[in-house]
Structure formats: structure tokens, C-alpha cells
Structure 1
Amino acid sequence: MLDWLIPSRPLSIAHRGASAYAPENTLAAFALAADLGADMWEVDLHQTADNQIIAFHDFTVADGRAVSTLSYSELRLVVADDEAPLLSEIIALAQARDCGIYADIKAPDASVTVSRMLQMAGVERAILGAFDPVAVRALRDVNSPYPLAALIPVGVDPFAASEGADIIHLCWENLDRPQDLLDEMFFARCTETGQHVVLWHEEDPARMAELRDKPVLGICSDRPELVNPVRFLGDLQVVCHRGANKIAPENTLSAAHACFAAGFSHVEIDVHVTADDQLVVLHDPTLDRTTNGTGPVCDHTFAQVQALNAGQWFAPFYTNEPIPTLDEMLELAKSYRGRLYIELKSAPANLVWDRVVAHRMQDRVFFWSFVTQSLHDMRAISDKAHLMMRRQDFDTLEEVLASLSPSLVEYTVSDDWSDFPELRRRGIPAMIAYNGDDREVLSRIIGAGADMVNLDQPFLFAELCREKGVAE
């Protein structure tokens, strides 16, 4: 049996690439999936009228014509520039990024051609699957060297429909609790038939937490980082500065999703108040840089802010990304059992604290602000609010700890880290903040023994931690 078919954890199979963060079935989505730790890319494959194999999900293009009736040059005239890449391009990218290919063959007549193209390119990690049993039989008849998967829709007997296949791929994403059907009896039957199991595309963090411990070969997801989130050895916590701002637009729900799904503990957000006292998440005091609006946030009503988008500046995929509310960020953090670092910008402390309490997140949030009065206001409101203080703002550690009773102390890479043992003795976490991407600096942070890190490059940090054996 191929070694990669006996993984120590489920394979992360990026559904049409990292399709939660980039247009599906595009080279950009596949490359991003590699950045997010995917082991394989699920690719929908069609064949054009002139026998070109392309990645495209639907059987028809926007004007209703079937993909199979169009030549590749005709197809290129009616799809976006980044849509419908050639399989040969995907293979080259997969080899460059060391990722496997999970082919969902939409055109049965193309199945043998797909297998031969992969073989000729020297691809070792590939799975060939299809809903149509004709494709699986054709591959079996030519002794394709790759594992074959039968894609099983809801309401179909998985064992009867997967006869002759090595893998049962359950497409059960539309059931309320499909995980309940994956019981011991089901997996015992799989053992009897000698078949592996791959699961539908899953994006719900609670369900994924149950699924990743099942004895399955792999799990498809639009968020491939969700399948096997990073686990840091010890109690290290990672704060993601403005969310995963290299993956998605900063301070958006998409950027926060990527952080929490990947296993990072905190998302740092910036909170402003609108003209009608609603709390929204945005870094700048003005709308100009990261939205299609102009002028100060606080001069706009909530309705006006809601009508804007906060993502088009980052990529066309995010044209409809809204400016999130603080309530939405709190709710998202709760859904992942995550935490927030809230920086008070123009937002009044009392309004922010009221929302945190309403979501029962008092112990899962800490606060800081350049506006010192905001921190004093927060402490006056509650002695239970977790405040952060920066070491660089004080001459001595004693002065830091005497100021507003902080729950944690932040250090830069230029600060003296010799305070850490004393903070640990007092039960107060030390956090190192670094917004750069220098691997040497990040490696020094890994060895510093801090309790928390606040980073602009959390995925790079996690990669280095894995290399050093302090994360898995």
C-alpha cells in the first residue's frame, strides 16, 4: 500500500482549492491552498471539444452552452481570465508546491486521459474520482495506478455504489449531522471491503472537530486549514494582527475565519464607533484605504457603513466583503472557541464592554488602546476587564504592573526580555509583538519562551514552529 494512503491525520483536501478565499478551481485558489497547508487539491475536470482537460465545476458556461461543445479557445472567450486553467498548468503548480491532486472527473470520456497525463508528469500523489461509475470502470479497465474514488451523493448506498473503487467519498454536506452516520459499524464495513473514506467538504468548526478524529483518509474543505489546525506544544498562544491579513482583507470576517480555522488562538481587531453609536471593525479612522467609502468612520451612520465593501481593494474576490460589526466578530470567535484582542480606536470603552458582556466573552478578550483615557475608562467600568500594557511605555516592570493592573504585558523584539521569569512568577503572561517576516527574528521569538506572540505572519511562524518541533 502507498505510504501516503496511511496518514497519521486526515489529509487536508482543498475543495476546488482554497475556495473560501479565492475563485474556485483557479491557480490562485490552488496556490493559496498550499499556503494554508493543504495536502491535496480537489479539482473538477472537464474536457473541451478539442480534447483539452480543464478545471471548471459547472457543465455549462454562463450563456448556457455546454463546456464539452466548446473548443478551448472558444471557452477562453466566455470565462474570466483566471477561470478554467489547463490540467497541465495545475500539475506543474502541484509539483512546484508539493501537493497532490484529487481529481473529480466530470467527463467520463476524459478519465483515462487524466490518468495518463498524471503518469507522464510523474505525479505520485493523486486520487481519481467521479460520480459517474463509468469513469471509475474505465480507469479500472486500463489498470490506472492511482487510487479510485466513487463520489456518493445523499440517499445512495455507499457500498453498493462504490463497487470497484478504493475510496468511498461521501458527499453528505447537506445533512444536518452526517457525522452521526459514521459509526463503528460503518467503519467496520469499510475494513471488510478494504476501502478508505474521504468526507464531503466541511466548513463548520464544530463538526470538523468531530470529523478529524474519525478513521478517514481525508476531508475536503473550502477552508483547508480547518482540517488539521496547528497545535503548539505547551501553552503558546498566537494573536493574528488584523486577522490573517495576507490571506484575506484585514479586519474582516474572512480574515478572522482563516486564523481561527488554522488553530490560532486570538484575532486582533480595531474598533470604531459610527455617528449613531454602532461599533464596527476597521483599522483606520477614515474609510478611504480599505473600503470604497471616504471620510472619517465616525461621520457615517451604521447604515452608510454597512453599504460599503471592505475587500475590493484586496482582491476582486472580496468585492462584496462587508465591514464587520463587533458583534459579528464576537460571535465568530465564540463559534471557534477563540479569543479576541480588541484595540479601542474611536470606540468608547463602555459601548465595547457592553457588547463583550452581552456575548459572555469577558474572559476571552483583552483590550489595549493608544488612547490612554480609553484604558482608564475600561478599568473604571470593570476590574475584571483584561487590559494589556506595553513594556516600552514604562521605565521599569514595576511601573507597568502598577498601571491599571494589566493581565498581560507586551514586548517588542527590541525590548529586554529578561522580565519574562518574573512575570511568570507573578502569573502574568508576556507577549512579543512583531509585524515583520524575517525568519531569523521569528526563530528568536520561538526560543524566547513568551506565553503569547502577536504576529503579522502567523502562518510563517507556524511553519517555523513545525520545523523546530514545537508545533504539529
Structure 2
Amino acid sequence: MGHRTDEAPGVRSERGVPVKASIEAFVSRYGWPAHAAQRPLSIGHRGACAHAHENTIAAFRVAARLGADMWELDARLSRDGVAVVSHDDAVLGADGRRIVLAEHDAVDIARMPLKRGGHVPLLQDVIDLAIETNCGLYVEVKERAAARPALALLAKSAVPFAGLGSFDHDTVRDLVAAKGAEPRFPVSVLVRNGEDPFAAAAATGAEIIHLCWERASDDPDRLITPEFLARAARENLIVVTWHEERRSVLQRLMAMPVAGICTDKPEMMNRYRPHPDYPIDIVCHRGMNAVAPENTLHAARLCFDQGFQVVELDVRHTSDGALAVIHDAILDRTTDGSGFVAARTIAELRLLSAGMWFDPFFADERVMPLAAFFQAAGADGRLYVEVKDTDPAVTVTAAERAGFLPRVFFWSPDPTRLGKLRGLSDDVAIMVERGSFSSIMEAVDALRPNIIQYDAEHDDLGEIETCREAGLVPMIKYFGSDPAIFERIIRLRPALINLDRPDVFLAAYWIVTGQGRPDRQTIAGDQLPSQGRSKA
């Protein structure tokens, strides 16, 4: 979670009113989340458009899963005057055809599949999803005629909180004029680089100045000075910033007293930071596999970007002796190829899509060599490598050559390979499953493991403390999505949790640790995409 620095809330206007106080007054007036006065709201730009096709239901669902407080979206009208959600006036259909939205009725638009996945949704459908997931909406009105229909839909809904705005000053003035009849939603004026935000606010009556300065420089946050923020507070204006994905810039913005930050990657604003009383490291099974295709670089990077410590992956050998990251022995389930992994070279595998099966958005994801994941882990990420059919010595050597051996542990479902892993060196960290042995001491005598994995639904979790006393690291595996089970696991304080649903874990973790995150509906298991996935 992001927290402002001690100095940022101390910025004061010339009348001595802290900038923080102006944000507190704003959120109280409009029912926005109170924590906006302590840290900027995470606003998913067109949903989470780094992980799903922008402005689609999938993008908004992913944004909710990654912890976004609200979603920025673009509203315009169909031919029959219905508010639909799209940044551009024309979109590319799955068949490659250019679809001009103003030339089609809404009911037809909603049925047209898009090239990169999903459909253009109705604004009403996005409102319904925001209510379901307890997220707010930040509506950019793309054409003046859409302003009042969009406002009318919000006004008759139970959306938790919302705001509307536009680059177009006439549209902003229309929205401000409508506030007399519908005062629940603040109005924003979007400001391009080089435009005077205070003049724009004065000319339109907007209460939010939304700074679109991402291209102003490599460090555009430097333009938001204490003097700028003090003037905004003095003029009763709230600041929202551009979409930002550069970590250093984003971290500095998060330390400022601004009400919200747009981002394509909400996970970067909602990073997991273990509480000192519950110092649990998280293992993301095959990466963040509910958001991105399993065992891909995208799924792995997403985990590390959200602050999770370990990515689990599966390694198989190719015909030319390379180490490919893929779960199944056969290509059919998770690629657009067929046949055995072992019958292909790594170069041939990299020609296959490892993401199209999951969603067209990920069509360019590829089957990658293990070395690519060492690089993706960055300076402090770790890996849990499941050795499927590779030579244990070759697999460990790959980690050694990359200088990665201290940051990886291994397991194999094949007892012979697991034994060979243990026999290579005491420097090789291995995991064993508790259910494979009659006792902890039998596991120790057989393989001298570093980590023992307990199955949350089948093993005796009361043995965790005994595991620690034996000098072993306890890891609990739970691939389900029941918040109550996660809460029970968290209270046991295992060193590691191996999971499929980090979003549900985070919601439970914030409850157990009392870290004060707002309630957020997680996406239930039966609402997940219907992609096939092997359990083993």
C-alpha cells in the first residue's frame, strides 16, 4: 500500500490550510473513500489496460482484482444515443473490420467481438460491475452529446462514488451546469501539457484539475511543486494526475497530497508489503495465472510488480536440450501448437502463442526459456522451479550460471529427480510435500529438505510449529478462493503461502492485519474466465 511521506501532508496554502484538509473536505462532500486523504486513490486507466483490452469488462474486472479504487473510462454515444465505453470513435473488430461506433446501435455494438478481445461495453454494464466490486468510476466524456446521458445513468445508479470530466471546456461547463440537479458527482477538467490548469478550472467551474503531463519530461512529477499544490488548495481545487507506470515517478507521486493517480498497472500502487507481525512471503503459482496466461513472462512480471516475492514455474526439456517454461508435456492446452514439447526446439516453441488460449490480448506471449525468468525476477524476486522432465543437474547449473541459485528452490513430482536434486549439493534448496511422508523426521532423513509444503485442505496445519522447531521452512499450499480459509492460514503465520488467488489473499491479509484497506469485492471463482488449467 502506498503511504505519503511525512512532509507531503504538511504542504499548506497561504491561508494556512493544509492541502490534506482540502482533500478531506472533498471526499466528505462527495462520498469518495476517506483514505484518499492519506494516500492517492488508485485509478485504473481504462481499467487495467496493461493486462486486458482497454475499456472492456475484462479490463475493469482485472483492475478491481489488482486493487484499483476506481476506474477511468471513456464515454461516447452509439447511433441510437446510448452511452457506450470506448476511447476511440472507431474500433477494430475480431475480423479486422473498422467499426465506427456512431454508425451502429448499442445492442449491435455490444455483440461485436474486438480484435484484442472483449466487446465495447455499455456504460450501464460498467456501472453494474462497479457496484458489484465496490469500485468508483471516473468518466471521461469524449463527445459533448454524451455528457448528460452518462450523468443520467450514474445519477439513477447505486455506484459507490464517481466523477466526470473532459478535455473539452464546453462539455465540462455542461457537466457543471447539471450539478444543480445532480450534486453527487464532482467535475474534472483534463489539462494537456502547456495548458494552464488554474485558468482551465476558472473557465469551466471544475473542482478537479486532471493533469495530463505524462509526456512533459522524464520526471513530470517535478512540475507538481509545493507551491502548485498550495495554490490548488487555496482555490478549492483537487488534483488528479496522468496515467503513470514508471516506478520512480509513481513512487514520488504517491508521496504527494493528490487525490488520485491514473495507471495502466494498478498493482504498482497496491503492492504487498508484509506486516511485521505476519511476515509471510507469497508464492504465485505459475505466475498470476488468473489474470494472465500461466507460465508466461507477463504473469511473472505482474506478480513481482505487485510486490509478491516468489513465482512458481514448471520446466521441461526441448529437443535441443533447452529448458522451456511450460506445465504440460503436450502443447495443446496452453499454446496454439500441438504435439510434445520435447519434440520441438526452443526456437520452434517461441514461434507459438502461449497466450491466445487465455485471451486474444495475450496473443504475443511466447513459451520462454528459464533464463528469461531469471531476468524477469529483477534484483530481489525469487523462483520456485518445478522440475518436470529435465535433468536436475542441467536445471540447477542454469540457475548457478545466472547467479540465481541463492534465490531459487526446487521440487519435482518425480521422486527420482527430487532425490537427484538433493544429491547435487547442500546449496541447492529443495521443497518436499508433507503428504509424501509419514512424519517430518522421515522427510528430513530421506531428503534433508529446506521447505515442507502443507496442503491446506488435506494436511494437519497444527504441525506448522513443529516444522519450524525442526529448522524447516513451512509453506502452505492453497489454490482455492475462500477468504475464510485464507484468514485461517494467515493467522498460522507460515513462512510461505503457495496460491492461485493473490487478490483474495490480500483482502484477507488486510482484514487480519488491520491495515485499513476498504472493503473490495473479489471476483469469485465461478466468475473467472473458463480457460482450462491442469491442477497438477
Q: What is the TM-score of this pair, normalised by structure 2?
A: 0.79
In the alignment, what sits opposite 2:301? 257
Give the alignment's Cα RMSD to 1 decimal.
2.9
1:217 and 2:247 aligned = no
1:442 and 2:486 aligned = yes
Identify which of 132, 135, 148 aligns with 1:99: 135
Q: Which range is displaced more, 375-384 or 193-202? A: 375-384
Please give the alpha-carbon distance, in whole angstroms, between the structure 2 residues aligned to 1:180 and 1:349. Answer: 50
1:304-315 alignment runs, 5 A limit: 304-315=348-359
Match of 1:406, as an amino acid? Answer: P
Match of 2:154, as an amino acid? Answer: L
**Could you tell me how far 1:208 is from its partner in structure 2?**
3.5
In the alignment, what sits opposite 1:465? 509
Q: Is the 8 A contact 2:134 2:160 kept in 1?
A: no
Identify which of 115, 119, 126 aligns with 2:151: 115
Query: Residues 160 and 272 (structure 1 numbering): CA distance in 2 closer, same or farther, change over 3 Å?
Result: farther
**Could you tell me how far 1:45 is from its partner in structure 2?**
0.8
Match of 1:388, as an amino acid? Answer: M
Query: Residues 308 and 467 (structure 1 numbering): CA distance in 2 closer, same or farther, change over 3 Å?
Result: same
Match of 1:188, as an amino acid? Answer: A
Q: Which range is displaced more, 127-136 or 200-209? A: 200-209
Match of 1:241, as an amino acid? Answer: H
Q: Which range is displaced more, 37-46 or 184-193? A: 184-193
Q: Which range is displaced more, 159-168 or 322-331? A: 159-168
Q: For residues 16-35 of structure 1, what are the alpha-carbon distances to aligned partners after superposition, in whole Å with 9 as ceiling and x for unaligned? A: 12323332212232233223
**Could you tell me how far 1:75 is from its partner in structure 2?**
5.0
**Could you tell me how far 1:321 is from its partner in structure 2?**
2.3
In the alignment, what sits opposite 1:17? 47
Q: Is the 8 A contact 1:397 1:419 kept in 2?
A: no
Q: For residues 317-347 of structure 1, what are the alpha-carbon distances to aligned partners after superposition, in whole Å with 9 as ceiling and x for unaligned? A: 3333212332222222217x43221111223
Q: Is the 8 A contact 1:61 1:78 kept in 2?
A: no
Q: Is the 8 A contact 1:199 1:219 kept in 2?
A: yes
Please give the alpha-carbon distance, in whole angstroms, between the structure 1 residues aligned to 2:231 and 2:403. Answer: 44
**Could you tell me how far 1:423 is from its partner in structure 2?**
3.9
Q: For residues 282-338 of structure 1, what are the alpha-carbon distances to aligned partners after superposition, in whole Å with 9 as ceiling and x for unaligned? A: 111221221122222121011110011112222333333212332222222217x43
Please give the alpha-carbon distance, in whole angstroms, between the structure 1 residues aligned to 2:91 and 2:477. Answer: 48
Please give the alpha-carbon distance, in whole angstroms, between the structure 1 residues aligned to 2:50 and 2:78. Answer: 27
Query: Residues 377 and 179 (structure 1 numbering): CA distance in 2 closer, same or farther, change over 3 Å?
Result: farther
**Could you tell me how far 1:402 is from its partner in structure 2?**
4.2
Match of 1:364, as an amino acid? Answer: R
Match of 2:343, as an amino acid? Answer: D
Q: Which range is displaced more, 252-261 or 446-455? A: 252-261
1:128-147 alignment runs, 5 A limit: 128-143=164-179, 145=183, 146-147=185-186
**Could you tell me how far 1:270 is from its partner in structure 2?**
0.6
Query: Residues 374 and 189 (structure 1 numbering): CA distance in 2 closer, same or farther, change over 3 Å?
Result: farther
1:31 and 2:71 aligned = no
1:25-424 alignment runs, 5 A limit: 25-62=55-92, 67-68=101-102, 71-72=105-106, 80=114, 82-123=118-159, 125-143=161-179, 145=183, 146-163=185-202, 164-174=205-215, 175-233=217-275, 234-334=278-378, 337-379=380-422, 381-413=424-456, 414-424=458-468
Unaligned runs of 5+ in 2: 1-24, 518-536
**Could you tell me how far 1:70 is from its partner in structure 2?**
5.1
**Could you tell me how far 1:403 is from its partner in structure 2?**
4.6
**Could you tell me how far 1:236 is from its partner in structure 2?**
0.8
Match of 1:89, as an amino acid? Answer: D
**Could you tell me how far 1:126 is from its partner in structure 2?**
0.8
Q: What is the TM-score of this pair, normalised by structure 1?
A: 0.89
Aligned length in residues: 471
Please give the alpha-carbon distance, in whole angstroms, between the structure 2 residues aligned to 1:183 and 1:70. Answer: 46
Match of 1:216, as an amino acid? Answer: V
Please give the alpha-carbon distance, in whole angstroms, between the structure 1 residues aligned to 2:270 and 2:332. Answer: 37
Match of 1:113, as an amino acid? Answer: P
Please give the alpha-carbon distance, in whole angstroms, between the structure 2 residues aligned to 1:116 and 1:431. Answer: 51
Q: For residues 206-235 of structure 1, what are the alpha-carbon distances to aligned partners after superposition, in whole Å with 9 as ceiling and x for unaligned? A: 544443333221222223233222334221
Q: Is the 8 A contact 1:203 1:223 kept in 2?
A: yes
**Could you tell me how far 1:440 is from its partner in structure 2?**
4.6
Please give the alpha-carbon distance, in whole angstroms, between the structure 1 residues aligned to 2:368 and 2:242. Answer: 29
Q: For residues 332-391 of structure 1, what are the alpha-carbon distances to aligned partners after superposition, in whole Å with 9 as ceiling and x for unaligned? A: 2217x4322111122333443344345443333221112344445445555333222323
Please give the alpha-carbon distance, in whole angstroms, between the structure 2 residues aligned to 1:243 and 1:61. Answer: 31
Q: Which range is displaced more, 450-459 or 364-373? A: 364-373
Match of 1:170, as an amino acid? Answer: L
Unaligned runs of 5+ in 1: none
Secondary structure of residue in 2 paired with 1:156 = coil
Please give the alpha-carbon distance, in whole angstroms, between the structure 2 residues aligned to 1:49 and 1:368. Answer: 58
Please give the alpha-carbon distance, in whole angstroms, between the structure 2 residues aligned to 1:73 and 1:454. Answer: 43
Q: Is the 8 A contact 2:135 2:160 kept in 1?
A: no
**Could you tell me how far 1:71 is from its partner in structure 2?**
4.7
Match of 1:9, as an amino acid? Answer: R
Query: Residues 380 and 152 (structure 1 numbering): CA distance in 2 closer, same or farther, change over 3 Å?
Result: farther
**Could you tell me how far 1:421 is from its partner in structure 2?**
2.8
Query: Residues 351 and 133 (structure 1 numbering): CA distance in 2 closer, same or farther, change over 3 Å?
Result: farther
Secondary structure of residue in 2 paired with 1:468 = helix
| Structure number with higher relative contact order (C-alpha < 8 Å, ≥ 6 residues apart) | 2
Q: Is the 8 A contact 1:43 1:55 kept in 2?
A: yes
Percent identity, aligned pairs only, is 39
**Could you tell me how far 1:76 is from its partner in structure 2?**
6.0
Please give the alpha-carbon distance, in whole angstroms, between the structure 2 residues aligned to 1:74 and 1:418. Answer: 56
Q: Is the 8 A contact 1:212 1:228 kept in 2?
A: no
Query: Residues 191 and 332 (structure 1 numbering): CA distance in 2 closer, same or farther, change over 3 Å?
Result: farther
Secondary structure of residue in 2 paired with 1:340 = strand
Q: Is the 8 A contact 2:279 2:493 kept in 1?
A: no
**Could you tell me how far 1:78 is from its partner in structure 2?**
6.7
Please give the alpha-carbon distance, in whole angstroms, between the structure 2 residues aligned to 1:289 and 1:30. Answer: 26
Please give the alpha-carbon distance, in whole angstroms, between the structure 2 residues aligned to 1:437 and 1:64. Answer: 40
